[in-house]
Structure formats: structure tokens, C-alpha cells
Amino acid sequence: MATIQTTSLLLLVTILFLSSSLVLSWKKDEFRNCNQTPFCKRARSRKPGSCSLIATDVFINDGDLTAKLVSKKNNNQQQQQDQEEEEEEEVIQKPLILRLSVYQDGILRLKIDEDPSLDPPKKRFQVADVIVQEFESSKLWLQRVSTEEGEFGVSSIVFLNDNNEAVVKHDPFEVYVRKKSGERVLSLNSHGLFDFEQLRVKKEGDDWSESFRSHTDSRPYGPQSISFDVSFYGADFVYGIPERATSLALKPTRGPDVEHSEPYRLFNLDVFEYLAESPFGLYGSIPFMISHGKAQGTSGFFWLNAAEMQIDVLKSGWDAESGISLPSSQGRIDTFWMSEAGIVDAFFFVGPGPKDVVRQYTDVTGKPSMPQHFATAYHQCRWNYRDEEDVANVDSKFDEFDIPYDVLWLDIEHTDGKKYFTWDRNLFPHPEEMQNKLAAKGRHMVTIVDPHIKRDDSYFLHKEASEKGHYVKDASGRDYDGWCWPGSSSYLDMLNPEIRSWWTEKFSLQNYVGSTPSLYIWNDMNEPSVFNGPEVTMPRDAIHYGAAEHREVHNAYGYYFHMATADGLLKRGDGKDRPFVLSRAIFPGSQRYGAIWTGDNSAEWDHLRVSVPMVLTLGLTGITFSGADVGGFFGNPETELLVRWYQLGAYYPFFRGHAHHDTKRREPYLFGEKNTERMRDAIHTRYMLLPYFYTLFREANTSGVPVMRPLWMEFPSDEATYNNDEAFMVGNSLLVQGIYTEGVKHVSVYLPRGQSWYDVKTGVAFKGGVTHKLGVSEDSIPAFQKAGTIIPRKDRYRRSSTQMVNDPYTLVIALNDSLVAEGELYVDDGKSFEFEKGAYIHRRFVFSDGKLVSSNIAPPALGNKFSSDGVIERIILLGLPQGSKSALIEPENRKVDVELGPIRLRGGQSFTALTIRKPNIHVTDDWTIKIL
């Protein structure tokens, strides 16, 4: 026994040493490239026109268009081939089944799979629990299919919506969406690159194994990859397919003069200190791409598939030698999609605008969950706060320096030997008391719960999971044993609904001893990360629920873990408390279960810069509650960088400071009076804007439109915005420009055309459609309110957002040239699901004709109404000609003064804005204020 323990200890030390060396830098040779990934290498070698499939037996079945895809090649053409080629051709010639479905809002779904009547060796994996039931029930039952004969052959046409129709071209096979005018929107297999490797029964002599470095991957059913081309017509740029640290607009990966030869990789990986401007995949995978162009608007394509995916963006001219002629009257961007396994389950979105496409995608995968109000405020995290004394000291220091925060986080070191749901009782002897002290100030705590379970027979969780058979199996059928923070670990098979249900029970206050209702959860390492696995993850031949191979389900593993954890908190609160769960791994649908962060970034200016397109891309693909570690996780940021990161991070949807345990302490009160003041001011800015942010989170919850948006989402016809990812919009009203370079004194800011813009600090107006060169100081970054908008704020600062609930509101009205503006305010109880029954306040504010009108836009409540004593204590009017001295409040027939006042109550700003002080009107009421 002693020898075994010694050997295990040495192995653990070795593994931890290897993992710590990973921390030092990203090592390119530890991860596969396309040439080392057989399915990618095979797919990329295919030539345009190589697909031999044609569509036959086209008819309507159960409201869908169905067809068979068969090989055009016949037996006579095969006689010249050798035996090996004949066997390969036999596999290809098995007909595939195509099913085309139409849903409300013009959404087209294409499924292609093996024919189950031909007895394939097993059922190919289809991702469950991502598509929401509401979408499934929105299917339009097709009644007929029309046939069209043209110069390019026979096609079948079905209705999509009033403006678009779907076309299945028979020979060669192609699917595309076109407008009624004939212009194409999206197409699949226009270049004949479609390929579908069918499952096979292993024969004597077959060797399908694949090796990478020291790992060999068995393949019991042979290669099973799928690839095809997708074209976006009228597109100037394409975006999406996170997660990656690159520009917002996707750069070409193949074609004439292309510098980058690797495709964009979607394969969930634990990547330390990832590189900026690399197509390499990170912690999450969302195979959803959006195109946008001035000529034709916005469209989108989504492939629901959990296997590794590689995607090429093809530069114009890549197919110059193919001989394939596509419609020449339309510009387009071609892309090439490759996946290791799964089926084709693809969705075409026709827009026509950016918000329409995002709404359509989230109609399929679900709207973002409505976060608790506290979660939208500032979070303070470190790996790790050492003990209860450290927690108490950090908490008191924030109060001493007048810096609000809402959540304090604990990493793995708070546990007993890296065993989740436990506490190190030497360091945290009174966890309930610690949490309750924070809760008394309206604050919360988050602890970490990762998917690796320590293989320790004395650990209740491992003992129960092992006895019940709840672990993922290795290729031989034994519980998979990998290495992570605790050493030898196994991984729960979260694909199994019964295991997810079992997991939810672990979060009850009775089972999670030491937890309280104010404790929430963080899921890290859920790619899943395995230190001694291939590419620091689980082997592809591990076996999951339903005999699914890990290669088929890999990218969805963290999604299921996130789902089960959120369900656990939901059950803990008896369905009355909104969960808060942060996840690192993501997949389509993750937006329904909580927040996301961009992983282990570094304290570098480049990582500050790339955080903006990373968060914007997540928002475009449904993940609206996201942010980057403020300050950078690795390394020690210079003070100027840290300050700039707080100033930018205050506008992230998810705002958290976080740092590695090897870094110097960097709480914002540690950097001297002036820098502490700058960071405090940034955090105060976030708390001031919480009513606006919370209103935007509600908009995301109902429409899918993200909180943080690329400029072109709000200004889709302004071409100067299409490739701009240094600035961004928060909602439709605020434009923020980050500072990404050390020591700069000036910055260029493009303000979109058609509007004027007001500096949020000074109220000074700037013209739209112009790039302005502005002087900057270390005190703030440029931010502007768009003319024609109204922003709700709360200008008093408390210890936490919870203590601000009853504080009064300020309205900032930025008038356009017509002296018109409008905005909204959404308020609910900030924690329960009563808002789903109509228990909320939703007001619209409109200023026109010299009057500000407040009206209700909430439907009648289905249950108890939500009430609030909140009042508006200040109204700031930007752009109103001076001269007005008073205003009349109706229906009270009460006069109030209009006078010059500051933009913000703190900060020593001059009195430059016309202000209505203390109108003291209730946010719940209908009222009118007329400027006299």
C-alpha cells in the first residue's frame, strides 16, 4: 500500500508539474493542427465539384420536404477501380436521407443522416436538449412542393416566408434560400464539396486508429466526418463561431495571399495564456456564423453538432480553377465547414437585419436567462482568498475605500483536498457565518465546483458515483480515470438525464454542508480539462450514455454540466430563486443557464484589446452575459493597464476582477490614492448604470439581442462600422471606446453617422459620421450617449446593489436635432421568477414637443403585481436650448425648477447641463412633464 501511495504521489507531482508548465505559456505543439487531424486534412484536400450526390424521390412527408441523396456514379464507372476503391464507393453509394423543415419567422432546417432502414452499425449521435420546445412547436407543415426546370436542371421549391423560398436542386445536389426576386441569400453545396463518411463494420485488417503524440485513438466504426461549403450572398463580412481570440470580423483562412493557413477550430480546450489573433479554438464552441453587408442585410447559418469542427473562411478567388460558375451578379463570402462526426442538423436564418438573425437563432437555442440583479454588478475573485480572515479583510477594505462590490469568490483551495462540496475546516471553519456576514451587507459568495471528481474511497461523492455507475467509461468499459487538480479523477456522464437529476440534489442546503441561500456556483475546467489526456482533454474513444463516443459529444460536455448545476440551484431554491452559475465551456444554449467568461487571459495590452471582439462575438451568438477577467488572469498588470481594464470592464455584461494565485495581490484599493480613485470611479460608473444594464438584460431575455453590441448591429447601413471592434455599443444608447495602448494622450473615435453624440462626462456634443481625435487622460475612457435616447441611472453609491433597491432614479435625456428622445426602464424584484407572471414594471419615456411622457408598456400582470416606491429625483436634459426656467408636472399641476447642474453628482464636474431637480415622481405612474 505504501508503495502504491508513493507511486501515486510521484505521478501526481509529475502531472501537476506538467500542468504548471502549461501555465507558463501556450505550447503550440501540444495541440493538433489541421494536418494532424485526419478528417480536416481529408476534407481540405477535396476539390470543388467532387460531390457526386443527387436528390431523388423528392416529396412531402409529415409536413417536411424529404428526399434521398444517392451517388451519381454507377457500377459501370466502378469497374476500372481496384478493390479498395470499390469498397469505399459502396459506402458512399448508400443513400442518405434528407429532410427539409420550415418554421415560423422564415427559419429553414436541413437534416441529413444515414438511412436507418439500411442497418448502419449504430445510430449517429444527435445533440439533445439544445433546441427549445417552443421552437419545435413552431414548425409550418408544408402542403406542397413546386418544381422548377431551368438551365441548371430540376429544382424543388418550398415556401419559407413572404419574402423568401427554399430551393433543393436535384442534380448536382444543392440547397439554397433565395428571395422572391431571385437573389440568393444562403446556399449549401454550391461548390460541390459535400461529403458524408458513413459508419462501417470493422473487417479483418482494418486499422482505423489515429495517433497524436503519445495518445492513440481507437475508431470502432471508422471515419465518420461530414463536410460541406456554405455561401453567404451580399456579404461584406462574416462573424461568429466563438470561442477564439481574434478580430470580430472573421479573416480568410484559405485563398490567394492568405497569411493564416489554419481553419478556425471549434474544439473545447483548456488553453493557458492563449494567443491573440489566432484561429485556434478555446474553451467553447458555437458553430453559428452571421454575415452582414450593405447590399443585402444580414443572414446566419447554424450547425448543431457537438463533435470537433474546423471552418475555413475562403478568400475571393479561392475557386478560380474549379470551373464552377455561381451567380455572378451577387458578391458573396464562401465558407467550408468540417466536422469529425454527428449528422447534418443545420439552420438557415434570413434576417433581414442583425437583430432579426440573433432573435431567430435564439428562437432555436433559447433566450438568455434573466440574471439576478446582484449578478449584474461587480464581482471580486482571486485564486484564492486564503481563509476566513482574508475574506473578512478584503470585504472590510472595499468598505473602507468606498468601493462597492456584490460577490466574493472562492477557488479550489477552499475545499478539503480538492473535493467539491466540502470545506477546508482549518481555513474555513465557519462557512455559514462567513456567508451570512456578507449577506448582511447585501453581498453574496460564489464557490467553485468542477466536473472532475477525486477518486478517493472516503469521499462521499466519488463513493456514490462509483457505486451507481455514473462515470464516463474508457474504451474498455471501465470508469475513465484522468488527472486534474485532485490527482486521479473520474468524470460524471452528464449526457445521462438521470445522472443530471442526481447531480441537482447535491446542491441542497442539506447535502452541500456549509452552504447558505446566498451561495452560488462557478463551473470551471468543464471542457472537460484532463491534464494527462490528449490535448489536455478526454480521449475521443471514451464512452458516454447511449454508447456515444466522446468524439461525438465533446463540445457539449460542459454544456450539460452547466445545465445540471443550474438546475441544482433552481431545485435548491424550490424553483423560486434564479440560479447564478458561471461556466467556462460553452455550447449553443449555454445562454439559458448563466454567465460565461473568456478564460485564462493575460495581463497584457493585447488581451485587453482582444477582450472586446471576444465578448462581442459571444453576444452575437446568444451568450449575452459574458466578460473577460479584469486585469488579466496571468501575470502582474502594470497599474495603467489595470486602470484601463477596470474602465473598460465596467461596460462588460459580466464584470469581474480575477487573478492567478502566483500574481501579486491586486484588489483595486492597493495602488495608491489616485489609481484607487480611478478604479473606484469605474466601478461606480457600473453601479450608476445598473438600471440601464438590467433593462438591457431584460431585452436580451425576451429578444436575444445582446447587451454589448457591435456598432454595425445598431448602424447596419454604416459601412465604417462593419470592421470596427475597438468601440462597441451598450444597448442602443451608449458607445464606448477602449484605450488599448500604454501612455497614449489622444485616441481616434468613430461616431456613427445619422446622429450626434454627447460625452457622458461633460455633455459636450459631437457630430456623427466623423472620426474624432480626442485627448484622453488616465481618469476615464471615451463614452458617448447617442442623441435621441434616454438612459435611467441611480446616482447614489452603496456597499452593494442590493442596498440600492429603494434609491431614486436619474433620467439622462439626450435630445436629437428634432429635440426628441426615448428610452425604457425595466424593474422587477431582482431575484425570483415572478416576472414571468407579469410582476414587473416596464416604462417607456418619450420626450417630444417639449414634453417628457412616462407610459406603461408592460402587459397586464398574470399574478401579483410588482410594486415599487422608486421615484425620479433628477432629470438631465442634454441638447435643450437654454432659457427654460421651470417645468410643469401633470396630472399633479405642480411646477419645478429647471436649472444648470452637473452631469454626475461626484467627480467635481462643472454645472453644464439643464437639470430638473427633485421632481419626485413615481416610476410606476403615468405622468407628463412639460418644459415651460
Complete DSSP assignment for 4-20: HHHHHHHHHHHHHHHHH
Is the pLDDT assigned to residue 21 strictly greater than 80?
no
Residue 347's nearest CA partner among 106, 704, 129 is: 106
pLDDT of residue 33: 94
- Buried residues in 879-890 as b, exposed as e (16+ CB within 10 A): bbeeebeebebe
Work out whether the CA dihedral 567, 835, 407, 558 comes out positive or negative. Answer: positive
Mean pLDDT of 519-535: 97
Q: Using omega within 30 degrees of 0 as the cis cutoff, is the peptide bond preceding 352 cis?
A: yes
Number of H helices, E strands in the chain: 17, 52
pLDDT of residue 327: 63
Is the pLDDT assigned to residue 847 strictly greater than 50?
yes
What is the grid cell recorded at 906?
Answer: 461626484
The phi, psi pair for 823, rounded to 5°, reads -165, 180
**pLDDT tens digits along 446-472:** 999 999 999 999 999 999 999 999 999
Mean pLDDT of 400-428: 98
Q: Which residues contact 162 (CB under 8 A, 6 or more apart)?
A: 180
Q: Indicate the pairing of strand 581-583 with strand 595-597.
A: parallel
pLDDT of residue 907: 58
Residue 296's nearest CA partner among 251, 349, 236 is: 236
Q: How confident is the model at residue 99 (pLDDT cuts 50, 70, 90)?
A: very high
| Residues pairing with 245 in the sheet | 278
Q: Which residues contact 596 (CB under 8 A, 6 or more apart)?
A: 284, 582, 583, 584, 586, 590, 618, 623, 625, 626, 654
Packing angle of the helix pair 690-703, 673-688 (nearest 10 deg): 50
Which residue type occupies 505? E
What is Dmax (Cα atoms) for the chain? 96
**pLDDT tens digits along 794-819:** 999 899 999 999 999 999 999 999 99
pLDDT of residue 911: 66
Is the pLDDT assigned to residue 482 strictly greater than 90?
yes
The phi, psi pair for 14, rounded to 5°, reads -60, -45
- CA 151 to chain CA centroid, Å, is 43
Is the pLDDT assigned to residue 440 strictly greater than 70?
yes
Q: Indicate the pairing of strand 195-196 with strand 139-140.
A: unpaired
**pLDDT tens digits along 568-614:** 999 999 999 999 999 999 999 999 999 999 999 999 999 999 999 99
Is the pLDDT assigned to residue 6 strictly greater than 70?
no
The rounded mean pLDDT for the chain is 93
pTM for the structure as a whole: 0.95
Residue 370's nearest CA partner among 594, 655, 653, 566 is: 594
**pLDDT tens digits along 190-238:** 999 999 999 999 888 888 999 999 899 999 999 999 999 999 999 999 9
Quick one: residue 295, left, alpha or beta (phi over 0 = left, psi -120 to 50 = alpha)? alpha
CATH for 50-78+91-120+141-269+283-318+329-365 is 2.60.40.1760
Q: How far is CA 248 from CA 301, 611, 688, 726, 880, in A?
A: 17, 10, 29, 9, 37
Mean pLDDT of 643-668: 98
Measured between alpha carbons, how far is 258 from 261 in angstroms, rounded to an integer?
Answer: 7
Per mean pLDDT, which range of 272-276, 435-439, 480-484, 917-921 is the poorest?
A: 272-276
pLDDT of residue 909: 59
Is the pLDDT assigned to residue 13 strictly greater than 50?
no
Measured between alpha carbons, how far is 582 from 594 in angstroms, rounded to an integer?
Answer: 6
- Buried residues in 93-103 as b, exposed as e (16+ CB within 10 A): bbbbbbbbbbb
Catalytic residue flag (residue 207): no
Mean pLDDT of 7-29: 47
Is the pLDDT assigned to residue 80 strictly greater than 60?
no
Catalytic residue flag (residue 600): yes
CA angle 380/385/388 to nearest 5° reads 110
| Residues pairing with 68 in the sheet | 56, 97
* Terminal-to-terminal C-alpha distance of the chain: 89
DSSP 805: T
Compute the half-sphere exposure of residue 839: CA atoms within 13 Å on the CB side of its CA: 14
pLDDT of residue 323: 73
Is the pLDDT assigned to residue 15 strictly greater than 60?
no
Which is the catalytic residue, given 541, 600, 795, 828? 600
Which is the catalytic residue, given 524, 541, 681, 725? 524
CA angle 525/526/527 to nearest 5° reads 100
Is the pLDDT assigned to residue 658 strictly greater than 70?
yes
| Residues pairing with 826 in the sheet | 842
CA angle 709/912/708 to nearest 5° reads 5
Q: How confident is the model at residue 83 (pLDDT cuts 50, 70, 90)?
A: very low
pLDDT of residue 509: 98
pLDDT of residue 618: 98
Count the residues in the chain: 932
Q: Which residues contact 793 (CB under 8 A, 6 or more apart)?
A: 688, 689, 691, 692, 809, 810, 811, 812
Measured between alpha carbons, how far is 790 from 847 in angstroms, rounded to an integer?
Answer: 9
Q: Which residues contact 28 (CB under 8 A, 6 or more apart)?
A: none
| Residues pairing with 925 in the sheet | none
Residue whose cell numbers read 411622457: 853
Measured between alpha carbons, how far is 513 from 418 in angstroms, rounded to an integer?
Answer: 15
Is the pLDDT assigned to residue 79 strictly greater than 50?
no
Mean pLDDT of 473-498: 98
CA angle 596/716/757 to nearest 5° reads 85
Is the pLDDT assigned to residue 86 strictly greater than 70?
no
DSSP letters for 143-195: ---EEEEETTEEEEEEE-SSSEEEEEETTTTEEEEEETTS-EEEEESTTS--E
C-alpha gyration radius of the chain: 29
pLDDT of residue 328: 64
**pLDDT tens digits along 624-650:** 999 999 999 999 999 999 999 999 999
Mean pLDDT of 46-50: 95
pLDDT of residue 884: 87
What is the CB neighbour count within 10 angstroms for residue 161?
16
What is the grid cell recorded at 223?
Answer: 471515419
Residue 876's nearest CA partner among 926, 814, 932, 824 is: 814
Which is the catalytic residue, given 114, 527, 552, 629? 527
Q: Are 248 and 277 in contact (CB under 8 A)?
A: no
**pLDDT tens digits along 714-745:** 999 999 999 999 999 999 999 999 999 999 99
Q: Are 106 and 24 in contact (CB under 8 A)?
A: no
Measured between alpha carbons, how far is 932 from 887 in angstroms, rounded to an integer?
Answer: 5
- CA 612 to chain CA centroid, Å, is 13
pLDDT of residue 389: 98
Q: Are 338 and 267 in contact (CB under 8 A)?
A: no
Measured between alpha carbons, how far is 527 from 577 in angstroms, rounded to an integer?
Answer: 27
Residue whose cell numbers read 475571393: 316
